[in-house]
């Protein structure tokens, strides 16, 4: 299988999955290294394929036709020990956490896709942070960061705003 065929297969696999697919899984299914998959994803993105990289793997993003999604960005600050509380609050209200963004004084804006929409996703994310003994992105900015949240209506976004303010997360 040549590179073009492999990239077609990647798109096919991602199109058939609603959940993210790990790079290692794609590599195993296609008989190549994970590094080849990373390069293929970069080439697909350069060719205008909207592929998101999350902590759970790759996902092909396409706007769902007929579905209106509402989004809001929240500027928040907290210590690392409150991360799980903040994420639970958002998903418990019905929000889907799309990303985390920090404004670094040297590197500028750093954004990472998260795609977290359940307590299980939160638990998995926090577990990965702990297992890899890493720090969340907000550690670069003294806890200050932004989250883009998607919901099915404005009422949910308002509820999230109110609860984030009440719990002292809004910066």
69-106: pLDDT as tens digits: 799 999 999 998 999 999 999 999 999 999 999 998 88
Q: pLDDT value at position 95? A: 96
Q: pLDDT value at position 48? A: 81
* 86 DSSP β-pair partners: none
How far is it, in rounded angstroms, from Cα 92 to Cα 73? 17
Predicted confidence band of residue 63 (pLDDT cuts 50, 70, 90): low
Task: Using alpha carbons, list the distances in angstroms from residue 142 to 19, 46, 52, 75.
Answer: 32, 34, 27, 13
Question: Does 12 have pLDDT greater than 70?
Answer: yes
Angle between helices 83-92 and 154-166 (to 10 degrees): 150
Confidence (pTM) = 0.72
Question: Does 47 have pLDDT greater than 70?
Answer: yes
**Residue scoring higher pLDDT (43 or 63):** 43
For range 58-73, the mean pLDDT: 74
Q: pLDDT value at position 158? A: 97
């Amino acid at each position: 299988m040549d590179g073009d065929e492999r990239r077609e297969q990647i798109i096919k696999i991602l199109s058939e999955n609603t959940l993210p697919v790990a790079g290692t899984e794609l590599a195993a299914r296609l008989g190549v290294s994970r590094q080849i998959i990373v390069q293929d994803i970069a080439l697909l993105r350069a060719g205008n394929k909207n592929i998101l990289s999350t902590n759970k793997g790759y996902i092909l993003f396409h706007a769902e036709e007929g579905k209106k999604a509402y989004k809001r960005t929240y500027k928040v600050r907290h210590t690392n020990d409150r991360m799980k509380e903040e994420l639970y609050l958002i998903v418990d209200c019905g929000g889907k956490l799309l990303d985390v963004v920090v404004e670094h004084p040297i590197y500028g804006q750093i954004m990472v896709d998260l795609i977290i929409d359940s307590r299980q996703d939160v638990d998995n994310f926090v577990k990965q942070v702990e297992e890899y003994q890493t720090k969340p992105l907000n550690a670069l900015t003294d806890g200050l960061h932004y989250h883009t949240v998607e919901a099915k209506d404005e009422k949910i976004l308002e509820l999230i705003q109110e609860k984030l303010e009440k719990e002292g997360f809004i910066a």
